[in-house]
Amino acid sequence: MAEKSPLLTARQRANAAYRNSPVGRKLRADYAKTYYKIPEVRARFNKKKRDRRREQQDKEATRLQPEFCECCGRAKKLKFDHDHDHDHDHDHNHDHSTEKFRGWLCDQCNTGIGKLGDNLVGLQRAVDYLNEKFNGR
């Protein structure tokens, strides 16, 4: 078996020079932008990202997942998803700026808090609105 030469061939040097040139870098960047717009590729990338985040959050969770949502008290429920039933766990509630785990919430509470700005100001505005429109009923 012949040993591989540590020296690059002229073709390899030319390819490396082209890849590192402004034109080569722009072509690679354009390809990457287009490649990640393909729905199947984007879905695979997002799934890996979600899986990594979920794994990290599982490590950081300071307490076991309870049977009830820590916000509204609803129990875990079966949820129909992709042609099979499964036990729907509570969501990790986390601070989006620091990614620190805050608690276990059901999907509805986690989504609602997120849509209200994920802060006390947004929640207080919602409470004020309800008090004003419904006189606290």
**Can you give the pTM of this predicted structure?**
0.51
List pLDDT tens digits, range 40-93.
888 888 888 888 877 777 777 777 778 888 888 888 764 444 444 444 567 778
**Residue 112, burial from CB neighbour count under 10 angstroms (0-12, 13-18, 19+):** middle
Residue 115 pLDDT: 92
> Hey, which bits of 6-127 come out as E strands?
77-81, 84-88, 91-94, 101-105
Q: Is pLDDT at 19 greater than 70 in this prediction?
A: yes
CA distance 15 to 62: 51
Listed by start position, the domains of the chain span: 10-60, 64-137
Question: CATH number of the domain at 64-137, out of 2.160.20.10, 3.40.50.300, 3.40.50.10320, 3.40.1800.10?
Answer: 3.40.1800.10
Q: Is pLDDT at 12 greater than 70 in this prediction?
A: yes
Tell me what percent of the residues of the chain surpass a pLDDT of 70.
83
Average pLDDT, the chain: 78
Residue 85 pLDDT: 41
